[in-house]
Amino acid sequence: MKRTLQILVLAMVLNTTITTNAQTTYNLDWALNINGAAASVTIEPGDTVEWTWVDNLQHNVVSTSSAQESFNSGLIQGQGSTWSYTFTEVGVNDYVCTPHSSSMFGTITVEEALSAEDKFAKNVLFSMNQTTNRLQVQSLISIDELIVYNLLGVTQMRYFVRDQYAEIDLSSLVSGVYLVQAKGGEAQTSFKVVKR
């Protein structure tokens, strides 16, 4: 009986260790003019980034001299081709496509032990097109819902997304400042949007 209890406790400890150390793979598109925020992500040690070629040109993924880790995919050509790298050290990793370094670059930031909420918050990108009154929201982690609030905290709009990208028409709202809450699984983050 004592032996069975020891095995059960050991199994629970191993399961907890495996569950808490589960790592994530982040997917980034890689082609001409993909750079900056669209080619950047914040992860934790042990996470993997996979780049997918979305054009037919020859590209590579090469760390810069200031990067924490050194990596080089070699030249790869062909739409749909992929290359991945698992980051193990905390730090900032700037990278480029050497044949197209002026238009293809990004940063992989590795931070220690991010919570699911922190990963979600650090990887939600948004832009407001003032001409079309459309808000674009993108995340490497699936967005379940977007809620738009006025500054009094009153819900103005609610969108169910269930995808990594959403575009919302805010033309029915009056000019002003709004708070947008993005939810993904158990995680959530908020950001401010100005509609003119």
Which of the two residues, 36 and 3, has the higher pLDDT score? 36
Is pLDDT above 70 for 3? no
Is pLDDT above 90 for 60? yes
What CA–CA distance (Å, rounded) separates 84 from 158?
36
Which residues, listed in sequence order, are joined to residue 161 by a DSSP beta bridge? none
Whether the domain at 25-110 and the domain at 116-195 fall into the same CATH topology: yes
The domain locations on the chain are 25-110, 116-195
Which of the two residues, 192 and 2, has the higher pLDDT score? 192
What is the average per-residue pLDDT within 37-42? 90
Q: At 22, is the pLDDT very low, low, confident or very high (cuts 50, 70, 90)?
A: low
Task: State phi, psi for 90 to the nearest 5 degrees.
Answer: -65, 135
CATH topology (fold) of 116-195: Immunoglobulin-like (2.60.40)
CATH topology (fold) of 25-110: Immunoglobulin-like (2.60.40)
Q: What percent of the chain has pLDDT over 90?
A: 72
**Of 5-14, 27-36, 46-55, 95-104, the least confident:** 5-14
**pLDDT for 75-133, tens place per residue?**
999 999 999 999 999 999 999 999 999 999 999 999 998 777 888 888 888 999 999 99
Q: How far is CA 132 from the centre of its chain?
A: 25
For residue 143, the model assigns a pLDDT of: 93
The dihedral built from the CA positions of residue 84, 89, 92 and 98, taken in this order, carries a sign that is negative
What CA–CA distance (Å, rounded) separates 36 from 105?
6
